[in-house]
Structure 1
Amino acid sequence: MDERLKYAPCGYMSITHEGIIMDVNQTFLDKMGYTQADLVHKHLESIMTIANKLIFHSYFYPFINLNGQVEELFINLKDSSGQSIPYLLNGKQFISEGVEIIDCILMQMGNRIDYELELRSAKKQIEEAYWEKDQALEKLQQIHMEIEKKQAELVEMNTLLVELSTTDKLTGLKNRRFFQEKLEEQIALYSKTGQPFSLFILDIDHFKKVNDTYGHQTGDYVLEKLAGILKSHSRKEDIAARYGGEEFVLILPNMDVLESKILAENLRQTIASSAWEIIGSLTVSIGIATITPQDSNTSILKNADQALYASKANGRNRVTHIMNLNEKPL
């Protein structure tokens, strides 16, 4: 740990997604009366009361799973003497060498505000409820089961929200934001391993005419059906996304120049030969770029777009790879 972080004016620790403490700074250890050996490789919940464990499960994990961070979680932690010390916890998730780590900043609360008093009182009542006599045990277990059920529902809802945030509502394909993230990941993977990939930009020919002639409802039908064709022609590892309007993009891992041209031509022919109710026929133009050592996420997109423009300029309903444009005549 960096020396400045080790003695920062606030507590710091890093934990795994399961809550195991991986590192903790000296500031926190000094304030709480612990040593590194007392906490490292122990579960964070080992220094929490039962009530705080409940709060931690109901708030911290769902927000980390949904947002990747938690801000100003009020929580009490037990020091080495067993005394409950109030903290405000800020946490943020990141991936290090494929392992998920959560960094936590812990600010000790020096003043007791009204909200803190109410929260402490509520937590005390929960702790007392856990230790009530046998006649209250059945009710307490029922409450605990209900909390677990609500927590599971919250996690399920959070998963759905994450899916919705990366999906195009009309077509069901991934959206532009998700595509940009995956493109950056592919370029990073190429830099490390040299694993090639190709990128398609696909544009519907004369789509404005479809909307103007048959209406936007028919235009939406065309976009949805085309999305279905792209899904059926995509491998499990491929990323198909709606880039915007009538433009679609595909990321194709482990696909070189020749393979990408063959796939694009098959896709073009499939779309052209499909039955398009109401409008009768539909064609697309496709631009392709395959990653090179000089490429960034911006340049490979630009190259694919330039190839798409060439397909449009040369009569539409065709496939162009940027390599064909860059070839110099003999």
Structure 2
Amino acid sequence: MDERLIEAPCGFISIDHNGSIIEVNKTFLEWMGFKQENLVGKHFESLLTTGNKLIFHSYFYPNINLHGHVEELFINLRNQNGESVPYLMNARRFGQNGQEMIDCILVQMKKRIDYELELRTTKKQMEEAYIEKNLAFAKLEQIYLEIEKKQIELMEINSGLVEISNTDKLTGIPNRRFFQEKLEEQIELYLKEQKTFSLLIIDIDHFKKVNDTYGHQIGDIVLAKLANILKTQARPEDIAARFGGEEFVIILPHTGVDEAILMAQRINQEVERAEWKETGCLTVSVGAATFTVKDTEATILKNADQALYASKENGRNCATHFSEL
């Protein structure tokens, strides 16, 4: 690695086409508290949080393979202490001596904080100049308004980044990444305070037939309409999200086995009696599971999925709780 790049004022990581780290500069190591031997040879995804792994697979890899570069990707990496550190990443695919690699530049998001502090300092200097010298009040007022505008724009940008990264574009409800983060939070609450919660997985019956018969455009309309029904049926504290394809999930806080079954059955009924002008009729199968002390993130998903499979096997358009298996 070039000497200037080693201590460049930004993080630098080079990975091969499999995602293994080939090189990393001194700046990034110091920021994150690692040594060379901690990272070189390891997979880049070892630095990612669970939610950001989904971003990497759904956004980073497709864009780097299709366009050869990725610009300003908002991502969180875990440092040596396991803490989440926000970065903006730019990456470009690069070939050298017959070997393909991806060079990544990482800039810490704390630059935004420094920018806000600079704005406040500038504002204070302007006020002092006005008091001491009584100079150009109208001009100073205009500059002040521009600074306020920039502060508002900065807040909107940050808010927009978070909302975009957490929302499913087709249905407008939270996406799998947001669901994953909320599931982790519910498990932490259970482990700390024994707050019971349940999970539903909802799958559209014969959805492939809908696409094959009416086309994918109608299929998309069906997905969006079902998402709206689930959002309407969910309580304020529930989290309804699109899990992928024709599958949806709902996290039910403070909900035991009996309440979860009732909720799942109500969804069956509401979907069946809804007006489906596009397809004539539509039903869903539901699988439910309630978190226990023996469970993990993986097992509750597996349990709900097994319950969903049982609903499919029992003729579809019904709900099954894992405890009934």
**Shorter-chain TM-score tier:** 0.5 to 0.7
Match of 1:257 in 2: 257
Residue 70 of structure 1, CA deviation: 6.8
CA distance in 1, matches of 2:219, 2:253: 30
Please show how residues 185-224 of structure 1 align to structure 2 within 5 Å: 185-224=185-224
CA distance in 1, matches of 2:109, 2:247: 38
CA distance in 2, matches of 1:278, 1:314: 26
Match of 1:285 in 2: 285
| Unmatched 5+ stretches in structure 2 | 1-73, 75-83, 89-106
Please show how residues 240-279 of structure 1 align to structure 2 within 5 Å: 240-279=240-279
CA distance in 1, matches of 2:181, 2:208: 29
CA distance in 2, matches of 1:324, 1:316: 16
Per-residue CA shift, 1:117-160, capped at 9, x if unaligned?
A: xxx9xx99x95896373232331232022111121122123212
2:202·2:287 contact (CA, 8 Å) conserved in 1?
yes
2:129·2:135 contact (CA, 8 Å) conserved in 1?
no
Distance 1:291 1:161, change over 3 A: same
Match of 2:152 in 1: 152
1:131 aligns with 2:129: yes
Distance 1:185 1:281, change over 3 A: same
Per-residue CA shift, 1:16-68, capped at 9, x if unaligned?
A: xxxxxxxxxxxxxxxxxxxxxxxxxxxxxxxxxxxxxxxxxxxxxxx9xxx96
TM-score (norm 1): 0.60
CA distance in 2, matches of 1:269, 1:226: 13
Distance 1:68 1:234, change over 3 A: farther
Amino acid at match of 1:236: P
Amino acid at match of 1:301: L
CA distance in 1, matches of 2:318, 2:172: 26
Please show how residues 1-330 of structure 1 align to structure 2 within 5 Å: 69=86, 131=129, 133-325=133-325
CA distance in 2, matches of 1:90, 1:214: 48
1:205·1:285 contact (CA, 8 Å) conserved in 2?
yes
2:287·2:307 contact (CA, 8 Å) conserved in 1?
yes
Give me the CA root mean square deviation: 2.8
Residue 217 of structure 1, CA deviation: 1.0
Distance 1:227 1:134, change over 3 A: same
Per-residue CA shift, 1:92-126, capped at 9, x if unaligned?
A: 7xxxxxxxxxxx9x9xxxxxxxxxxxxx9xx99x9
CA distance in 1, matches of 2:129, 2:269: 71
Residue 274 of structure 1, CA deviation: 1.1
Per-residue CA shift, 1:70-109, capped at 9, x if unaligned?
A: 79xxxxxxxxxxxxxxxxx9677xxxxxxxxxxx9x9xxx
Residue 271 of structure 1, CA deviation: 0.5
CA distance in 2, matches of 1:90, 1:231: 36
Residue 162 of structure 1, CA deviation: 1.0
CA distance in 1, matches of 2:278, 2:159: 38
Per-residue CA shift, 1:259-317, capped at 9, x if unaligned?
A: 11011101101101111012100010000000100011111001000111111122111
Amino acid at match of 2:160: L
Distance 1:142 1:224, change over 3 A: same
> How many residues are paired up?
215
1:171·1:227 contact (CA, 8 Å) conserved in 2?
yes
Residue 182 of structure 1, CA deviation: 0.3
Q: Secondary structure at the match of 1:131?
A: helix
Per-residue CA shift, 1:239-269, capped at 9, x if unaligned?
A: 0000000000000001100011011101101
Larger Rg, first or second structure (1 or 2): 1
TM-score (norm 2): 0.61
Match of 2:3 in 1: none
Distance 1:313 1:175, change over 3 A: same
